[in-house]
Structure 1
Amino acid sequence: MKRSGPGPLDRVFRGLVPVLGAFLLNGCSSLGYYAQLGEGQWQLLRARQPVEKVLADPASNAQLRARLQHAEQARVFASEQLKLPDNDSYRVYADLGRPYVVWNVFATPELSLQPVTHCFPIAGCVAYRGYYRQGAARGAAALMREQGMDVYVGGVEAYSTLGWFDDPILSSMVAWGDERLATLIFHELAHQRVYVQDDTEFNESFATFVEQEGTRQWRVARGLAADQGDQGQQREQFIRLVLASRERLQAIYVGPLDDAHKRVAKQAEFERLRREYRQVRDSQWAGDKRYDAWMYGPMSNAKLLPFGLYDQWVPAFAAVFREVGGDWARFYERVEVLGRLPADERKAALMSWGRFAPHRG
């Protein structure tokens, strides 16, 4: 289905796809999966061409040229003002001929919010698997459902190879508009700046904070209001509703009910989430239905999973940023120190700065 503007939830599905595993692992059981990773990454690399070449080509679409010019400005801003890596990433362009670069498959047990993780030598363990073909992602999801898992598939606009390759601006990135393109560049470059193996929540929350704060500064630099107004407030309210639902589900799953009653309580919680969403939408958003498609589609633990990964520690990183006086270089130094801590100590430190507080209704 063609969309005329950015999907409000697309951000929660993007991230790092561990393509390097294709070159470092072998074994018949995973050969097909790693082969498609290697083939997909190779096709993407072959499709790259310098942005300046696309801009100079008179046959290039006028809208594409305008978006790439804007991206060039955002790329310079990322390195000069946000102190993100100054390399050839996002200075090349690749036309994919499809709406997403990969599709990520998220999965949890039926009565748990714990993600099914997948481990790779360079990327470490991550809470999803990426597929370059939508059909392959749906096939993998169907097999996991047959095993009794909760599964969700989400399209990915962009991902980072952590600086191993010059990551391109993708046609899937330019479709959404100038500001969205800039935020994607900020997010993905943040993964190149700091990345901690085996901690998806840390990595994605960090990159999300860099994206959000970087976008605020980018807007101010262009003479715009720092925040996105009602749209930003609605997104934050929506995230709080989902995180509150996750907390209630967690309480159900660790509680004393037997599995049959937990399943009933699980479905009741999904209906509560929809009911609370309708109340907020109709009373505070003047009936804005931007999240309706997500909310009224099939619901599962896995569908709620990305919110805990991408938003959980954003307030903690915001607190660190304030503590260093908004100095990006010092901020990254502090984040690197956090990243070197043992996992339990790292989580405790983040909690001391704060996490995304769920809505209390």
Structure 2
Amino acid sequence: MLRLFLLLRSSLGALDHSFRCLVPVLALGLLNGCSSVNYYGQLASGQLQLLQARKPVAELVADPSTAPKLRQHLLQAEQARAFASAQLKLPDNRSYRVYADIGRPFVVWNVFATPEFSLEPQTHCFPIAGCVAYRGYYSQGAARGAAALQKQQGLDVYVGGVEAYSTLGWFDDPILNTMLRWGDERLATVIFHELAHQRLYVADDTSFNESFATFVEQEGSRQWRVARGLAAQTEDDSQQRDQFVGLVLASRERLKTLYAAPLTDAGKRAGKHAEFERLRRDYRSLRDSQWGGNGRYDAWINAPMNNAKLLPFGLYDQWVPVFEVLFAQSGRDWEVFYARVEALGQRSPEERLQALKSIADKAAPSRLQQSIL
């Protein structure tokens, strides 16, 4: 028997670093059957390899043989990590005070799948973590192999690279080489986000968990910049990201309507193709008319499209405005805020959803309208 609990952070590899989606969850429970043994075995092996690669950040910084660029990244990470616990009241442990170079661009690859005419994901259920909409693999080849098998079953499949993860405090999570490529500012936000998951995690409620961690990341990053005397970040990036996500969510809703219509498979297939082409046209129109031709999402929009590729959108920040309200109502006191969020997390799923919607309706319906679909 093997027990291991992982929270893996997913990103769309084709998108730029400012857009992230879904924080996936993996759990290893009691192993039953050869397929389970094989799947969980590769997870255990990958996690063990990562743990063995860890080195204390302080030792690397002090080591004269450490590359200057890496040392500078780690120094910045040390400062952000200390700020996270001292000012944001996030867990004060060894997580992100160790470093691991795993020698590849992503730590894990996640496989998402849906039926051809549905946006409901193929879910996988685990002890502790509950049911999730993906399977994760430490090997890109294994992920592609799993995706190929699902495609043979007629499913829409999407494989997304994962740059970072948190084990929710079960292990001392390392800063990974995969987390450094976007720069120090991005690294700090990742640390804030993942430590927020350690502070609070509600099983079987991805949108709640991710929105909470995203709010902590955003507000924490704002306070981190203020503490260093830096100007606020430009709104252009976040506005463009929100507009792009809005396009995808609108497309997803139209697809739901299409799939529910009394059409033949051929009719749905034609409508599906037409909808993806419409999404591409809408994006290019927005890019050229409002973004000055900035093609930050060109690679993603021009790549093959299917239902599974749309799954992560909307989960990451659906309730962020609600947490903004709760933070303000808490007097911008992190401990008071966390207590209120924990109280929400202890409610039943139905009660929690109703409470979130109630706050959303009273607080900022115009802003939330796009997120709550």
TM-score normalized with structure 1 length: 0.92
Q: Which residue pairs with 2:52 in the alignment?
A: 46
Quote the Cα distance in structure 2 between the aligned partners of 1:289 and 1:94. 33
Quote the Cα distance in structure 2 between the aligned partners of 1:224 and 1:81. 17
Q: Deviations over 1:46-67 (max 9, x none)?
A: 0011001111111111111000
Q: 1:83 to 1:16 in 2, by over 3 A?
A: farther
Q: Which residue pairs with 1:358 in the alignment?
A: 370
Q: Does 1:212 align with 2:211?
A: no
Q: Which residue pairs with 2:106 in the alignment?
A: 100
Match of 1:305 among 306, 311, 318: 311
Contact 1:107 1:151 in 2 (8 A): yes
Q: Does 1:171 align with 2:183?
A: no
- Give the root-mean-square deviation of aligned CA atoms: 2.0
After alignment, is 160-169 or 103-112 more displaced?
A: 103-112
Q: Give me the identity figure in percent.
A: 68
Q: Which amino acid aligns with 1:327?
A: D
Q: 1:156 to 1:42 in 2, by over 3 A?
A: same
Q: Which residue pairs with 1:8 in the alignment?
A: 16
Quote the Cα distance in structure 1 between the aligned partners of 2:18 and 2:108. 12
Match of 2:151 among 145, 152, 167: 145
Q: Deviations over 1:156-207 (max 9, x none)?
A: 1111111100100001001210011001101111111111111222212221
Contact 2:109 2:160 in 1 (8 A): yes
Q: How many residues align?
A: 353
Match of 1:132 among 132, 138, 145: 138
Q: Does 1:35 align with 2:41?
A: yes
Q: 1:119 to 1:179 in 2, by over 3 A?
A: same
Q: Which residue pairs with 1:346 in the alignment?
A: 352
Deviation, 1:9, is 5.5
In structure 1, runs of 5+ residues without a counterpart are none
Q: Which residue pairs with 2:121 in the alignment?
A: 115
Q: Which residue pairs with 2:86 in the alignment?
A: 80
Q: Matched residue of 1:308: which SS?
A: coil
Q: Which residue pairs with 1:270 in the alignment?
A: 276
Q: 1:356 to 1:129 in 2, by over 3 A?
A: farther
Deviation, 1:133, is 0.5
Q: 1:23 to 1:236 in 2, by over 3 A?
A: same
Match of 2:200 among 194, 203, 208: 194
Quote the Cα distance in structure 1 between the aligned partners of 2:291 and 2:73. 30
Q: Deviations over 1:241-264 (max 9, x none)?
A: 112222222222233434332222
Q: Matched residue of 1:154: which SS?
A: strand
In structure 2, runs of 5+ residues without a counterpart are 1-12, 361-366
Q: Matched residue of 1:107: which SS?
A: strand
- Pairs within 5 Å for 1:237-276: 237-276=243-282
Q: Matched residue of 1:155: which SS?
A: strand
Q: Matched residue of 2:113: which SS?
A: strand
Q: 1:257 to 1:311 in 2, by over 3 A?
A: farther
Quote the Cα distance in structure 2 between the aligned partners of 1:151 and 1:6. 15
Q: 1:336 to 1:94 in 2, by over 3 A?
A: same
Q: 1:166 to 1:216 in 2, by over 3 A?
A: same
Contact 1:112 1:250 in 2 (8 A): yes
Q: 1:271 to 1:91 in 2, by over 3 A?
A: same
Q: Matched residue of 2:159: which SS?
A: strand
